[in-house]
Structure 1
C-alpha cells in the first residue's frame, strides 16, 4: 500500500459517522469498522479463524470478480457474533487507522499468518487483499 492509498483510507475512515446505513450487507457501521480491524488482526495472527481450508479459494476469487460478497471466515462474522465487539465508535475508528498504518509499514519479508481461505500469502498478496477488503467495506457505507 503506497502513501497515497494509505492517506485516502485514513481520510475515508474519518468520513464515517454513526448514522450511516449500509448500501448492502447486514453489518452496521460500528460492526464494519471492527470487522476491518479484525482483518489486520488476522494478517498478523493475533486473531485466528475457527476453521481453515473449508472454502475453495477459486470460488472466493470468482465472487470477488463479479462484485459478490464473499463468505466471512468462521470467527470473524460481526452479525453472527464472532468478530471483535464494537466499543466507542471514534476509538474503534482510531484502532482501525492504527492497524492500517502499521500494516503499511511492514517489511516486504514480514511473516504473515496463514489466511483461512488462501493459505500462506506473501506481502504483495496480503496487501492486495487489504486494499480490496477496505475498499469493499468503505464503499458499503458510501465513503
Structure 2
C-alpha cells in the first residue's frame, strides 16, 4: 500500500491525477471524471473543512465505527461498484479543473502535515484513527478511483 504521507507517494498520486482529462471515462460505475474528483475531495473536506458536512448522530457513528471503519481502514482494495455513503454522492456536474486542483492541494497538505498530525486524529465518522488507518483509508480510496478511470 502506498503511503499518503510520503513525498514520493504523494507525488505519484499527483502525477496520476494530472493524467486525467475532462474526457477521461470510467471503466465502471456511474460517475464522470469531474464527479469522481469532487467525490475524492469529500474525504479531505471531512478533515480540513468539516463544517461543510453534517456529522453523524450517535447511532449512525456507532454503526459506522462497528461496520464500515474496519472495511475502509484495512489494506484490502475496494471492490468495484460498492455503494457510496450519502455525503459522498456527487450528482451534479463539477468544474474539472477546480476539483482537480483542490484534490492535488489536499494531497500536498496531507503529506506536508505528515503522519504525526494524523496519529490519533478524530474522524467525524469513525472516532480516533491512527496514522496507518488514515493512510489506508485515503490511499486505497485514491487507488480505487484512479483505477476506475484507467490511470492505475
Gaps of 5+ in 2: none
Distance 1:66 1:93, change over 3 A: closer
Q: Distance in 1 between matches of 2:41 and 2:62?
A: 22
Distance 1:28 1:8, change over 3 A: same
Decide whether aligned partners of structure 1 residues 13 and 66 sit closer, same or farther in structure 2, where only a CA change above 3 A counts: closer
Counterparts of 1:73 and 1:4, CA distance in 2: 30
1:17 maps to 2:25: no
**Is 1:123 aligned with 2:128?**
no
Aligned length: 136
Question: Greater relative contact order (Cα 8 A, min sep 6): structure 1 or 2?
Answer: 2
Q: TM-score, normalised by structure 1?
A: 0.78
Render the CA deviation track for 1:31-86: whole Å, top value 9, x for unaligned. Answer: 0001111111113352435533334137735xx8474244333322113x6xxx62
* 1:72 corresponds to: 84
The runs of 5 or more residues in structure 1 that have no matched partner are none
The alignment's TM-score, normalised by the length of structure 2, stands at: 0.74
Within the candidate set 48, 62, 68, 2:53 is matched to 48
Q: CA RMSD in A?
A: 2.7
Aligned to 1:97: 104
Superposed CA offset, 1:80-135 (max 9, x none):
x6xxx62x31122111100110011114144634252x332122211221111111
